[in-house]
Structure 1
Amino acid sequence: MIKNIIPSHQSIIILIGRGMFSILALASMLTFISLVALSLSLSDASSINKAGALRMQSYQIAYNLSRNDSEAMRQGHIDTFNQSLAHIKNNIVDNWDITSKLKQEFMIVETQWQKQSDILYSDNPKQFLLYVDEFVSKIDTFVQNLQNHSEYKVKIITLIKGLGIGLIFAVCIITIRLMQVQVLKPLQQIFAASNRIRKGEFDVSFDFFYENEIGSLASNISHMANDLNQLYSTLEQQVDAKTKQLKEAKDKINFLYTTSQKLHVTHLNADMLEQTLQSVSELNGLSFYNLILTGSEVETIYLNAGADNGEQTIDLKLELEEQSFGTLTVLKREANDQEHLRSYCRIISLAQHRSQSNLEAQRSLLMEERAVIARELHDSLAQALSYLKIQVTLLKHHLKNQEVTPTTNEIVEEIDVNLRISYTQLRELLNTFRLALDDANLSEAISIMLAQLRQRTKSKIHLIYELEEHLFKPNQHIHILQIIREAVLNSIKHANSNEIMIDCGTNKNGTIEVSISDDGDGIPADPTKSNHYGLTIMGERASKLGAKLEIKNNIIKGTLVLLTFDRKNKHA
């Protein structure tokens, strides 16, 4: 309907000009109405103020009468009342927008004032006090109606302005709609046609015909598209095919380069590997893949997506330098670009080999550092303690031939006992440092450590190890091994146990659990008093593993040391 308001041959400039002129005319009309309303409302506030003051002035006169003030003072208030009444009369009588009803109410107030004025000038002016409340009530009615009239004028003016603004909005909407119908939509079609032409789609048409600037532009574009369609119809197919091939090759090369760079600077893990597999699947159109990634130093990773549904598959080896790291299995009918898939397998194999080499280097550095510390402790602190032990023995032998107090003997004995304890603890620490962790085999290291401890106790020590190999890093091995060693030593020294059980496994929730339990005396009320440093160090090692360490009494008998942590939280 709006489309037919202006003829299709109407110029766009004229269309816009009419809309702007209409908006300007309406805005001018609203401005004129606002000015007229302002001029009519200038005296409203003053009239309402003066009318309200009449009540106070009436009560003032009554107050003077009740106090028997002087006639001069009362006359001054009467004159003020007359001035206020005259001011209101000038604003109401001469104002054409005041209703006849409001004028009649004013006349009533004026007439009543004349009667009250006669009383005030009579011999008994105090009769005014009898009628003052009634008179003020009439003033209140007048003031309220005057205020209502002023509010009514404001509402009328607001309504007129609202209608004017509504008309402006209507004109704007109509103008915008006309611009949308005769300018925007044609331009959108022209813009869409130009995009199609830019993309090589030359079959364009328009569902409008205007004899104006837009129509001329559309006609020229349509003729140009037909000419280009004839010129590039054959060339388009050739270019599209070649472009598609180049784009696919570029995407695959970019993927291989990006993956190689990313895996070169970061550690290979399951999440990153899954992301790269998804990208490979998208680039090669794979609906099924199954990847098994192994290594002697790392945890085995299993990733798969989709199902083969019994179709023929092909296995792509992940190997480097005659060392196998697993396989990538895909459907044979989808392995169209096997060279790209093999390149991806080589990148993963190289990253796995690098990760394994890094872990081996870390373990070697760690073991070398521990060996250096052990040598230093042996050559310095151990020698010093041995020397002190000899000196204390000589001192005790010398004191046998001397007359000394019992206190002196107790001090010497205490020094001897503490030296022996310190020396024993140092030897245990050196034994721990000398433990080998070859091939990252934690179960073997625990077995070697327990074999050493069995020689120092009559208690039976059992080991149940059900964790996967290559589950932990070398530095994590040390923390776990030291916690187990400290817990077993505590049981040997303090628990008086017959059996000690070490259990390493996972619970039904997949959480890793390492427990050391015995059937001994249990832990005292405050275990830190007897083994303060050992328990503190165990807690610190558990914290570095991101694990939770619990030390408590068994339900039936003995002590339980429980170390638990999530597979995803092995951050030590």
Structure 2
Amino acid sequence: MRIKRSVSTRIAHYLLIIIVFAGLITTLSFVIMTSNRSDAESINVSGSLRMQSYRLIYEIQNHPDNVERYLQQYQTTLHTHALTELNNSLLVPNTVKTEYQSVIQRWQTLENYIRHGDIEAYQQNIEQYVAQLDKFVYVLQQFAEKKLTLATTVISVSMLLIVAMVSYVIWYTHKQVVKPLHRLARASSQVQMRMFNHISLDTNKNDELGMLALVFTQMASDLQKLYSALEKQVDEKTKKLSQVNRSLSMLYYCSQQLSGNELDRTRLQQVLNHVLLNEHLRSLEVHIYQNEQWNIHLGKTVEALNWQTNPIDVEGQVLGELRWQAGLPCPDYRTMQNIAQMLGRALYFSHTQRQQQQLLLMEERAIIARELHDSLAQVLSFLQIQLTRLKHTIRKNNTSAQEKSLEIITEFEQALSDGYIQLRELLATFRLTIQEANLQLALEQVIENLQNQTEIKITLACSLPSQTFNAQQQVHALQIVREAILNAIKHSQASLIEVIAHTNEDGENELIVQDNGIGIPSLEEPSGHYGLNIMHERAKQLNAHLSIQAQPTGGTQVKITLPSFTPTNQDHT
């Protein structure tokens, strides 16, 4: 847009006119005031001429020799610069100039009277000359008053004109600049508050503010379009983020349901139903290979829609297939891929968990069988031998045979009692291992069962975690502890038996059974006893080191030492 009428240029012209006008008035006033400087002198000089004209009469009569000097002095006063300037000034009216010429001419006449010695004629005309001087002074006074009045009038009128022009410039500035700027400021505030349809601005003016208003209006219109486009994009992004958030929440829910609980068909159906509703699917179904009873179909099938398929696989092993018919809005294919991956992992882990449960069950059965073989089988074998001896002894009918039979029966009863006790301990041990797998609770149960058989105080200090041993290792450890406590009860003559389970300074796990008794005399077992050998074999099964030694302060210490990683990383069958 090309500016045709510049407001700033017009205001500058107005101000220039005011300055020029004020300069002219000032110059005129200065000229008038300058001319007034000689008015007083002219009036004073004119007044002194009257006194000098009368003085000449006195001098003629009393000092005739000084007459010539006084005539020259009078002539000088009459033609002084203040009076002669009256003839040369353009501002002096003709009446003043005429009166001044009349005074000069009349004085020439009077001067001739004096020079010719006609004193009487001088005296007769002096009054008329003085009257003419008075008239000349009066004319000068009127002229001075007129100039003062003219100066006052000019200054007053000029001030009024300047005030009028300044007022017009202020009014023009307020109309052409201030008001448009105020409207522009209001429009700016409205735009700042996102009110792009602001108050109307005068865009038709061919000046700077009109151009500014036009540009501002176009800018507001462009901002409105841009803001609307941005709002639309933000709405779209918000919808997408909401959808992504719902998808993430759905994926988190599915992950929690599939990984935090045991997987079954009901839970799988709940997860798929949540996916169906969250992703706005028309229909959703899952096919599990080699497990058809877990196949699930949800929603209503639409014949006109195509099925989308994603395999359910884990590490290259295809476990099934996930199929769906999309609705609106369509789900993200990556989300459905994630669902298929989670289903694959859940099915794989569920299958692996069932296999592990089978292996654990078989392992527990093997542990029970071996413990029965190592404990009750030996007792039963001993009982069988004793029973054979008893049969041979009964056939002998003599007194020594009867005593021998009673001795065998006594041993038989003792072995049967020991076997029963071992059976109860094994049942308690297996029950704790399988059901609770809590090391401290298992040790407490072993100590409680053995505490009932003795008056010796048995204490426990366990700081090892419950998962230090697996099921089989815990059986071996408990049996070693039980055997060590039984040996202390039978042979130590102690008052205190301590059981300690902790981690030593080297980071190794330790199980310690120690007493304050008489100490073990020898590490060699008597014939027919296998307790220590069994303890060493169990320690080997734990991949641990077993040490049995007498303590310097008295008593015996049985210690099992094994690295912290060994129990959790090895599983012996």
Give the number of the structure whose alpha-carbon radius of gyration is greater.
2
Fold equivalence (TM over 0.5)? no
Please indicate the TM-score interval, normalised by the length of the shorter structure.
0.3 to 0.5
Give the TM-score taking structure 2 as reference length.
Answer: 0.35
TM-score (norm 1): 0.35
